[in-house]
Amino acid sequence: MRRLIILTLALMLVSLTSCGDFRDITVNSATIDAISPYGFRGLDVDLAVEIDNPASQLKLSDMEAVVKHSGKVLGTVTVAPFVLKGRTVQTYDMRASMTLDEKVSLLDLLMSLDSNFLDNCYIDVTVKGQLRVGVSKTITKNDIPLKKLINYADKNK
């Protein structure tokens, strides 16, 4: 029993450390293929995202981002699970869905759009990553400036 536990721990450590650094995963480009509203409270967005993954294969699931503007929650964005293939540069077709918060209407959102809108937009992101061997970890990043992400994507075009 003791050997099994030690072997399992060793396998987990080897799989997490020998397959590249997950911090090196980069998004090279992102394009919006289609936007379609559903009801009065949501949008479906079809995306094509090019990702450079020098690490091993990773299954991404439970992906959710809360979008905030000046401390007020605007809505929640979810992305369907997908497998990020290892050691590749590949374009992934993804579908993201945004559901507006109960206190925000589509009209409120459209009226608040101006040139400084992105200056006060932040997102809280939660993603669960799972290696091929079954080891998983949930990563949460809070208060990421949305303008920084968009500027980063523009630089990579």
| Contacts (Cβ under 8 Å, ≥6 apart) of 128 | 60, 61, 62, 63, 136, 137, 138, 139
The residue extents of the domains of the chain are: 21-155
Which helix (H) or strand (E) is 155 found in, with range?
A: helix 146-155
pLDDT in tens, the chain (157 residues): 344 444 444 444 444 444 455 667 877 877 778 878 888 888 888 888 888 888 888 899 999 989 888 889 988 999 999 999 989 999 999 888 889 999 988 777 777 777 788 788 888 888 888 887 778 888 888 898 877 766 555 555 5
Sole residue written with tokens 């981002």:
65
User: Which residue has 């000046």 as its token pair?
Assistant: 70
Reference 59, options 134, 116, 9; nearest CA is 134
pTM strictly above 0.85: no
Q: Measure the CA–CA gap between 99 and 95, rounded to whole angstroms.
A: 13
For 21-155, give the CATH class: mainly beta
Q: 75: closest CA among 40, 116, 114?
A: 40
